[in-house]
Each structure stands twice: as structure tokens, then as C-alpha cells.
Amino acid sequence: MWIGDFVRNHTVVRVLKERWPNRPVDLLTTSLCAPLVDYMPGVRQGIVWDLPRSRLAVGRQFGLAKLLRERTYGTALVLPRTWKAAIAPALAGIPERIGFVGEFRFGLLNRWRWGEKKLPRFIDKNAALAQPDGAPLPPEWPVPQLRVPAEEIVRWRQANGLSAGAAIALAPGSVGVSKRWTYYPEAARLLVERGLEVWVVGGPAEKGLAQEIVAAGGPGVRDLTGNDLRNGVLAMAAAGVAISNDSGLMHIAAALGTPTMGIFGPTSPYLWAPLNGLAATVLQDKEVLSCQPCQNTICKMNDHRCMRDIAASEVVGIAQRVLREAGAPV
């Protein structure tokens, strides 16, 4: 369901392709994440099929099962641990259905795995399913990759009236308000004062944040938020540096190879940062805030100091250093 999780699961695709180089890999995807499939090496196609949350949707399950049966898949990796996630592959009669036992999915899965709770990270759980049963985890997983053709970026810049220079992409949104850094408007103003072009990237939920940032930064800031995730992918591919909360756009930028600064508050970089590595991981000193990371959606102890105490000037200074290291004019 979540954009960041979908990007991280490209690691699973890469593990599968290493194990079975000649077997095509398709991804079941939501409408939201479907544009990402076009930029994922090793994926043959995406199957867009939206299943609602919090209800079984029997008709939709039977429709998906029919589609899967027609495509004669040999193996299904059921990555979510929920009972309903395993229904359609079972109804489709896919010969090998692999997943963790999860919600006691005996009968729905026929190659169930144990030990899910011993694997701390999301990617360890999912990528382990792509390995032979009992295989040890590797020291490092292959990192997610997103590849955008250069000519597509050029066309996108032209369509949006953007210059060819290096810009700073700001991704102020996230799932959960506690993960949102406080000072994007001030950072935009400081970046513009230093002669840098600033883009605000996000979905329709970030439109209000984008307006605040544009108001603070003036004409040097462009609001590039919109309804199409493809626009966000292209913006992150074209940017010189991305500054992001712990969000899907952070994972997109890192997988594209764009130098990415991740700002972390209540969440742990070890558990949730991209495997690709970040140009900078920005977080408050743990010696000052013993409660971090708390993983809570609402701060219960320190009035959100894990985000409020990260100054805009600090983030802007790091962004300029990252741009210099990337060889872009500052």
C-alpha cells in the first residue's frame, strides 16, 4: 500500500532475478504505486488491482484470482502477513505460494515460513521469502533501483518550464504528522537567498504545505505537488539534491541515485532508511533525547523536539555541502 515499502521491495525483485534469471517477475500493485513499475529494472509488468482496506471484498478477490489463473504463474510470494492477502493466489491455484504463517494461513499458503519475528527489518522479512527456505540472510541485500531515461527528464523539465540547473527538491509530507520536519518554509527561504532553485514535491495532501513554503521562499520556489506519482519520480530524478522526511519520496529519490538527505525524528534510520544509503541522515542527538526513536505518531514526552530542534540553517548547510560533493555549482 505504501510508496516507500513498494520501492524497498525492488530488493525482493533483484533477489528473485539472481535466483531465477530466466523467470519473469510481475508485481501486484495499487493504482497509486503503479507508475513506479515502469522504472523498475527486472520487472516485466505490474498488475493494477486495488483491494480495499479493512474488508474482505469477496468479488474483488475472485476477480483477481481469475486474472492470476489466466496468467499461469508458477510461484506467488505473498509479502503481507494478512489472511486476506493470501486468498487470491490460493483461489488461482498457483502451485507454489510462499509466505510467513502470519495470520495462521495454513491451506492458503503451501510453502509457509517461520521466524518472521526474529527478523527486525521490513526488508529482511520480505527478501528472505525470495530465498530458498532456511538460507542465511546475506551481509547486504541488493539495493532498490529506479531508472528514468534522460530524455524523459528533459521533456518533463520543458513541460514544467524548469531550467537545466541543479535544484533542491523538498518533500515535506509523510504518513503521520510526527515525521514531518517543522522548518521547510524557512529552509526554502535560505536556499533561495543562496541563489538555489527550490521545488516542492508531493501529492495532493501536501498542497497546503507547498503553499506555505512558496509564500516563504518567493518566486524562487516552485510548487510541483500533484496527483500523479510519476511527476514526483521525475522531479526527484531531475533534482540535484532531495531533502525529505521519512517518506515514500525519500525512498524514491535514494533509489534513483539522487543525493538524498533524510530527516528523522520518531522513526529509526536503521529500520526505515533506504538500503541505498543517504547523502546525509539528519536527526537530533540521542544524548539529548533519550526517547528517540519512539515510533509514535503523537509525541508524548518532549513536545516533538526530535524535529523542532533541527534548525533550518543546519539542514541548508548540509544541502550545500552535498551539492558541492556532487559537483554541482552552489
Q: What superfamily would CATH give domain 3-128? A: Glycogen Phosphorylase B; (3.40.50.2000)
Banded pLDDT at 291 (limits 50, 70, 90)? confident
- Hey, CA dihedral for 107, 113, 115, 119, is it positive or negative? negative
Q: Which residues lie across from 223 on neighbouring strands?
A: 200
Q: Are 203 and 173 in contact (CB under 8 A)?
A: yes
Q: What is d(CA 330, CA 209) in angstroms, rounded to the nearest whole number? A: 26
User: So what's the pLDDT on residue 264?
Assistant: 93
User: So what's the pLDDT on residue 286?
Assistant: 62
Report pLDDT digits (tens) over 80-134.
999 999 999 999 999 999 999 999 999 999 999 999 999 989 999 999 999 999 9
CA-nearest of 141, 148, 147 to 16 is 141
Q: What is d(CA 103, CA 81) in angstroms, rounded to the nearest whole number? A: 6
What global pTM score does this model have? 0.94
Domain ranges of the chain: 3-128, 151-325
**151-325 has which fold?**
Rossmann fold (3.40.50)
User: So what's the pLDDT on residue 303?
Assistant: 73
- Domain 3-128 identical in fold to domain 151-325: yes
User: So what's the pLDDT on residue 301?
Assistant: 67
Using left for φ > 0, alpha for ψ between -120 and 50, and beta otherwise, residue 277 falls in left
Q: How far is CA 272 from the centre of its chain?
A: 10
| Concatenated DSSP letters of 263-312 | E-SSS-HHHHS-TT--SEEE---TTT-TT-----SS-SSSTTHHHHTS-H
Q: Is 118 exposed, middle or buried (0-12, 13-18, 19+ CB in 10 A)?
A: exposed
